[in-house]
Every structure is written in C-alpha cells, then in structure tokens.
Structure 1
Amino acid sequence: MSVIDLFMELQNGLSADQDLREEIRRVVQTLEQTAREILILLHSVHHESGLNSIPEKCLKAREHFKTVRTQLAALATKFPSDQYYRYHDQWRFVLQRLVFQASFLVYLESEELVTRDAVAEILGIESDREKGFHLDIEDYLSGVLNLASELSRLAVNSVTAGDYARPLRIATFINELDFGFRLLNLKNDSLRKRYDGLKYDVKKIEEVVYDLSIRGLSKSQATPSEEKS
C-alpha cells in the first residue's frame, strides 16, 4: 500500500467516525429537548400551586419519560455496544440530567432515594454494563448529587408556601444522603467536586430547619408518620 492509499484509508475511517458522531448528536439533541420539558414540569412544584398538585405533575413527567425511553433506544442502535465509552461523552451530561430528573420524580412520589436499577428501568436502559447501553455508576451518582441541590431549594419554597413539615423530612433525607456519600471513596475529580457542593446543600437546609425551630414552626405540622400514629 502506498503512502497516499494508506492516508486515504485513514481518512475514510475518520469520515465514518465523524458521520456516526453526527448521528449520535442529532439523537442527543432530541433527548435534551425532552429533558428540558421534564425539567420545566418538575420545576413547577416549587410554586405553591405546584406543591398542591404534585401527583398530577409526577404522572405527566412519567409520560415524558416514555419518550425518553424511545429516544435512548434509538441512541443505542447508533454504535456497537462494545464502543459505549468511546462515545459516552456525547450523551453523558444529558443522561446525568435525566438521572437527576428521575430521582426528583421518585422523591416527589415517595420521598425515597431511587436506586440505580430503578433509574435504569425508568430510562429503559440497562444497569449492567455487560448488557450494552447502560447507566454508568458515576452518571447515577452525579444525577443524585443534583437532586440534593433541588431539594434544598424545595425546602425553602415549602416554607414560603406554608408547608413547615416538608423541610424537616427533606433535612432527614439529605443527611442520610450525605452519610451515604461519605462511605464512598470518590476518585473521580468531577464527582468529588460535585460532592463537595453537597455540604452547602446540607448547611442550607439546616439553616431552614433552625429558622423554623426558633420561630416555633417545626412542631406546628406533623409529619405523615406522626399523623398515622
């Protein structure tokens, strides 16, 4: 093979890779649009009217996630399954955003932390990397860390709306989340920086709870468990 032929062959390989990346980019753009629609819907719970209609908002969000499943299924067909990490950077950020939205949705429904397997099911992808297109552990953790920031905001807005019990439950949840992350040996620089931000979320929520306490409002509303008892 001549030098010219060699470089022509290399160019063909580069062109094929660029074409594939462009196909992936187009699918990712549709995912980003759907993620924006879900975010707008879930953000509405920060308003008093939204807090009063959380079940309806969650049902609508579930419908949007059906579209996400279709879009991710299309994305998974664009490249060989064994080349997942070669193209991972192209959808990493939108996938982390979708993990956050799924975790926020589940929290609003049950006030529990969603598992990685459950998120993968919501998104219609695998949790086991050996099975192809999957939810990477670090993408899951990044999305969960974004949940903490959203809940600290919800705690403040709940007080504004006159819901004084919710911030107390959020505080308990965030403290448990913080303890869980302390058990991890985080070596990923990006993930470590995001975890550092969790400290500020914990502090912000503690300030909300303290303010409720000194104003005598922390006991003015019973939690659901207290009401049942």
Structure 2
Amino acid sequence: MSVTEMFSSIQGFLSADQDVREDIRKVVQTLEQTGREILTVLQSVHQPSGFKEIPSKCARARELFCTVRTQLGELKTKFPVEQYYRFHEHWRFVLQRLAFLAAFVVYLETETLVVRVEVAQILGIEVVREKGFHLDVEDYLAGVLIMASELSRLAVNSVTAGDYTRPLRISNFINELDSGFRLLNLKNDPLRKRYDGLKYDVKKIEEVVYDLSIRGLAKDQ
C-alpha cells in the first residue's frame, strides 16, 4: 500500500467516525430538548401554589419520559454496542440531567431516594454494562447530587409558600444522603467536585431549619 492509499484509508475511517458522532449529536439534541421540557414542568413546584400541583406535575413529567425512552432507543442504534465508552462523552451530561429529573420526580412522589435500577427503568435503559446502553454508576450519582441542589432550593421556597414542615423533611433526607456519600471513595474528579457542593446544600438547608426553629415554626414530624 502506498502512502497515499494508506492516508486515504485513514481518511475514510475518520469520515465514518465523524458521521457516527454527528448522528449521535442530533439525537442528543432532541434528548436535551425533552429534558428541558421535563424541567420546565417540575420547576413549577417552586411556585407558592406548586405544592398542590405536585401529583399532576409528576404525572406530566412521567409522560414526557416516554419520549425520552423513545429517543434513547434511537440513540442506541447510532453506534456499535461495544463502543459505549468511546462515545460516552457525547451523552454523559444529558444522561446525568435525565437521572436528576427522574430522581426528582420520585422524591416529589415519595420523598425517598430513587435507586439506580429504577432510574434506568424510567429511562428505558440497562444497569448492567454487558447488556448494552446503560446508566453508569457515576452518571447516576451525579444526577442524585444535582437533585440535592434542587432540594435545597425547594426548602427555601417551601418557607415562602408557608409549608414549614417540608424543609425539616428535606433536611433529614439530605443529611442521610450526605452520610451515604461519605462512605464512598470518589476517584472521579468531576463527581468529587460536585459532591463538594453537597456540603453547601446541607448548610443552606440547615440555615433554613434553624431560622424556622428560632421563629417557633419548626414542628417535629
């Protein structure tokens, strides 16, 4: 093979690879749009009247997750299954956001922490790497940490809405979450940095609870 032929072959490989990446990018854009729609629906719970609408907003969010499952199903077809981590960076951020939205929906419905298997079911993907397109453990954890920040905001807005017991429940939940993360030896730098933010969420919620306590508004559950 001549040098020209060799480099022509390499160019063919690069072009094919770029086509795959472009196909993935297009699907990821649709996922990002659906994620924004779900977030818009859920953001309304921060409004003064939003707590009364939690069941209906969660139901609407779950309807939109049907679209997410379809879009993720399309994404799976855009690359060889064994090359998941080769292209992982293309959808890592959006998958973390979707994991956060799924975790937030489950928290609003039950005030419990969603497990990774349930998030994967909501998204219509796997948890076991060998089975194909899956929810990586670190992506799940990142989604949970994003939810913690959202809950710190919810604690503040609960007081504005006159719901003085919700911040106490959120505080208990976040403290348990913090205790769980302390058991982990995080090697992933972005994840560890995001976990550092959890400390500020804990502090912010504790300040809300403290303020309620000194005003005599905090009640034991």
Shared fold (TM-score greater than 0.5)?
yes
Q: Secondary structure at 1:193's aligned position in 2? A: helix
Which residue pairs with 1:194 in the alignment?
A: 194
What is the one-letter code of the residue matched to 1:185?
N
Question: What is the correspondence of 1:189-228 to structure 2 with a 5 Å cutoff?
Answer: 189-219=189-219, 223=221
Q: Distance in 2 between matches of 1:7 and 1:65?
A: 45
2:105 equivalent in structure 1: 105
Structure 2 unaligned residues grouped into runs of 5+? none
> How many Å apart are 1:17 and its aligned residue?
0.2
In structure 1, the gaps of 5 or more residues are 224-229
* 1:109-132: CA deviation from partner (whole Å, max 9, x where unpaired): 000000000000000000001100
Return the alpha-carbon distance in structure 2 between the equivalents of residues 163 and 50 of structure 1: 11
* Aligned residue in 2 for 1:226: none
Quote the residue 1:123 is aligned against.
123
TM-superposed deviation, 1:51: 1.2
Give RMSD over aligned pairs. 0.6
Q: Which TM-score applies when normalising by structure 2? A: 0.99
Deviations 1:76-123 (A, max 9, x none): 011111000000000000000000000000000000000000000000
1:159 to partner: Cα distance: 0.4
List, as ranges, runs of 4+ consecutive aligned residues in structure 1 with deviation greater than 4 Å.
none
Q: Deviations over 1:162-184 (max 9, x none)?
A: 00000000000000000000000
Q: Distance in 1 between matches of 2:29 and 2:50?
A: 28
Partner residue, 1:227: none
Q: What is residue 4 of structure 2 aligned with on the other side?
A: 4
Q: How many percent of aligned residue pairs carry the same amino acid? A: 74
Q: Which residue of 2 aligns with 1:44?
A: 44
Which residue identity is paired with 2:173? Answer: F
Residue 48 (structure 1) shift: 1.5
Q: Deviation at 1:49?
A: 1.7
Three-state SS of the structure 2 residue aligned to 1:139 is helix
The answer for the alignment partner of 2:90 in structure 1 is 90
Q: Distance in 2 between matches of 1:128 and 1:174?
A: 28
> Which structure 2 residues correspond to residues 27-176 of structure 1 after superposition, within 5 A?
27-176=27-176
Q: What SS does the corresponding residue of 1:52 show, helix, strand or coil? A: helix
List per-residue Cα deviations over 1:37-61 (Å, max 9, x = no partner).
0000111100012111100000000
Q: Distance in 2 between matches of 1:128 and 1:34?
A: 25
2:45 partner amino acid: V
Which AA in structure 1 matches 2:17? D
Mapped to 1, the partners of 2:91 and 2:115 lie a distance apart of: 21
Aligned partners of 1:50, 1:94: CA distance in 2, in Å? 26
CA distance in 2, matches of 1:43, 1:139: 22
Provide the C-alpha distance between the structure 1 equivalents of 2:154 and 2:99, rounded to a whole number of angstroms. 18
SS at match of 1:44: helix
